[in-house]
Amino acid sequence: MKKIEVWIAPSRLDDAKDAMLGGGASGLTATEVLAPAGREIYRAAVMETGLRSYTRVETVVHDDLVSRIVGGLERVLARGPAAGGLLLVAPVFEAVRIRTGEIDEAAIA
């Protein structure tokens, strides 16, 4: 199992959702997050730009779906006016559906 997480501009939520669900994910979670926007140089002065709003979309999927979902996300998020973002893939060692007691692969189906 793998966790796929993408940080994108809020306007790209529908694109990311369609790519994840179209690639075979059975569900996803979207969260609004704030992250430091960084520094800019203006007239030789370094200025803090504050916080920037992102949407974090995450899902946990079977290993065989990862390449299809990641490929779909790369295709749709690399084009358009708000192109870009951050895509992370991490292993998930254990999953438990608390209500039913299902574990691992059965828990994410």
Reduced to 3 states, what is the DSSP secondary structure of residue 87?
strand
The ranges assigned to domains in the chain are 2-36+49-108
- The residue type found at 100 is T
Average pLDDT, the chain: 90
Q: What is the pLDDT of residues 44-54, one digit of tens each?
A: 787 777 888 89
The CATH number of the structural domain formed by 2-36+49-108 is 3.30.70.120
- Overall average pLDDT of the 18-39 stretch: 90
Q: Which of 33, 2, 29, 1 is nearest to 16 (CA)?
A: 29
Write the pLDDT tens digit of every residue in 65-83. Answer: 999 999 999 999 988 777 7
pTM metric for this prediction: 0.83
Torsion angle in degrees (nearest 10) through CA of 43, 48, 49, 54: 150
